[in-house]
Amino acid sequence: MVNERKKKEKKMMSSEKVLQVNNLKISFRTYGGEVEAVRGVDFDLYKGETLAIVGESGCGKSVTSNAIMGLIPQPPGIIKNGSILFKEKDLTKLSKTQLRKIQGVDISMIFQDPMTALNPTLTIGEQLTEGLRTHKKIGKKEAKEKAIDMLKLVGIPNPEERLKQFPHQFSGGMRQRIVIAIALICEPQVLIADEPTTALDVTIQAQILELFEEIQLKKGISIILITHDLGVVAKIADRIAVMYAGKIVEIGDKREIFYTPEHPYTKGLLNSVPRLDLMEEELQPIDGTPPDLFSPPKGCPFTARCDYAMEVCDYAYPFSTKISETHEVDCWLQDERANVLQAQNKIG
């Protein structure tokens, strides 16, 4: 426990932005029409932090992270608007060849299912070193040494022999460690983890999360962590972005989001999580379903499910309001005129 606290204190957090996502809009052309999967997402990622993106299934978390990774298939995907700035370059404007110099080198990704993320016909050694050898132009021997170091870092015993083995010779947890090693071998500045622990059982989950913390401490990388699991968020996130229907509706420090959530959707999410300290209160899943992204509403997308919805919510998307230096929320309740209205509602 003491150790853990020390870790947290030592963790480097700076105000240096490594990644800036501005008004990102992404759609997919399908037979049924155009799906507006991401509808204007803004956030910054700071050096050495872990930013968690949470939200219901289908809200656009994976699409956002794939866009940063340059993995949106085009077609059917279209980046309609916005920019992703990394090292003064807009990733959305780069050619495929230029992107490849960044993928896996500066920005890496960890996938959800370690059982399918590794190629069954190639050895672990090859899968570990191929990125390194492509990008860093180093020799076989050097690459192998680096691979052994990485396997040690992620906690795989007998790395030298393990390099010659194939994915099916490893358990799920081990495979996820290998996937992490692969993502980290070129020493990226940004690591995107799309539900990295969802496919693993609970004890392994905890180990993998610890590994994340340890690596962040050692390497000072920034992590974007996508998850459904608020328990995971509570454990390792520094900041939290709450996504709903293709937008970030609230973003803030972990404490701000957990203790003083402002958006009704965030509150709903937190209420739908079992909490040990509030045993007696019943769980309240949010009623209703998110809006259809084929024709998203022009107002606040949460209107249909929101207990506080007002007339204005229906026809105009709320402005973003700064609650604190770090805490921002998109909700009409923040408008000073809303207080009056809500008060009236309560009386009436």
Partner 1 sequence: MAKYILKRFIMMIATILIISTLTFVLMHSIPGSPFDEERTSNPTIQANLEKFYKLDEPMHVQYLYYLKSIVTFDFGPSIKKPNESVNELLARGFPISFELGMVTILVALLSGTILGTLAALRHNGIIDYLAMTFAVVGISVPNFVLATLLIQQVAVTWELLPAATWSSPLHMILPILALATGPTAIIARLTRSSMLEVLTQDYIKMANAKGLSPIRIVIRHALRNALMPVVTIMGTMLAGILTGTFVIEKIFAIPGMGKYFVESINNRDYPVIMGSTVFYSAFLVFMLFLVDIVYGFLDPRIKLHRKEGDA
Ligand X SMILES: Nc1ncnc2c1ncn2[C@@H]1O[C@H](COP(=O)(O)OP(=O)(O)OP(=O)(O)O)[C@@H](O)[C@H]1O
Give the one residue of 22, 58, 71, 326 binding partner 1; rule: CB under 8 A. Answer: 71
- Asked if residues 266 and 254 have their Cβ atoms less than 8 Å apart, the reply is no
Binding segment toward Mg ion, per CB under 5 A, in 60-68, 117-125, 236-244, 300-308 = 60-68
Smallest gap from Cβ 11 to ligand X, in A, equals 27
**What letters, b where the CB count within 10 A reaches 16 and e where it falls short, cover 173-199?**
bbbbbbbbbbbbbbebbbbbbbbbbeb
Say which entry of partner 1, ligand X, Mg ion, none residue 103 contacts (CB below 5 to 8 A, set by partner kind).
partner 1
Say which entry of ligand SF4, Mg ion, partner 1, none residue 62 contacts (CB below 5 to 8 A, set by partner kind).
Mg ion
Binding segment toward Mg ion, per CB under 5 A, in 19-27, 32-40, 61-69, 244-252 = 61-69
Between residue 56 and residue 115, which ones bind ligand X under the rule CB under 6 A? 57-63, 73, 76
Give the one residue of 69, 232, 251, 313 binding ligand SF4; rule: CB under 6 A. Answer: 313
Give the one residue of 172, 220, 308, 320 binding ligand SF4; rule: CB under 6 A. Answer: 308
Residues 6+ apart with CB under 8 A from 49: 13, 222, 223, 238, 239
Give the one residue of 62, 64, 127, 227 binding Mg ion; rule: CB under 5 A. Answer: 62
Between residue 254 and residue 293, which ones bind ligand SF4 under the rule CB under 6 A? 263-264
> Is residue 134 within the footprint of partner 1 (CB under 8 A)?
yes
Structural element, H or E, at residue 141: helix 140-153
Say which entry of partner 1, Mg ion, ligand X, none residue 293 contacts (CB below 5 to 8 A, set by partner kind).
ligand X
Say which entry of Mg ion, ligand SF4, partner 1, none residue 205 contacts (CB below 5 to 8 A, set by partner kind).
none
DSSP per residue over 62-87, as a string? HHHHHHHHT---TTTEEEEEEEEEET
- Distance (Å, whole) CA 342 – CA 346: 6
Burial class (CB in 10 A: 0-12, 13-18, 19+), 210: middle
Angle of CA points 227, 152, 232, to nearest 5°: 15
- Distance (Å, whole) CA 166 – CA 11: 35
- Asked if residues 207 and 174 have their Cβ atoms less than 8 Å apart, the reply is no
Q: Which token pair is 320?
A: 């973003």
Binding mask 12-31 for ligand X (x = CB under 6 A): ----------------x-x-
Binding segment toward Mg ion, per CB under 5 A, in 57-65, 180-188, 210-218, 261-269 = 57-65
Residues 6+ apart with CB under 8 A from 92: 24, 67, 79, 82, 83, 84
Between residue 285 and residue 324, which ones bind ligand X under the rule CB under 6 A? 293
Q: Which token pair is 96?
A: 């495929």
Smallest gap from Cβ 261 to ligand X, in A, equals 19
User: Which residue lies nearer to ligand X by CB, 56 or 213?
Assistant: 56
- Distance (Å, whole) CA 83 – CA 21: 6
Smallest gap from Cβ 29 to ligand X, in A, equals 8
Binding site for ligand X (CB under 6 A): 28, 30, 35, 37, 55, 57-63, 73, 76, 293
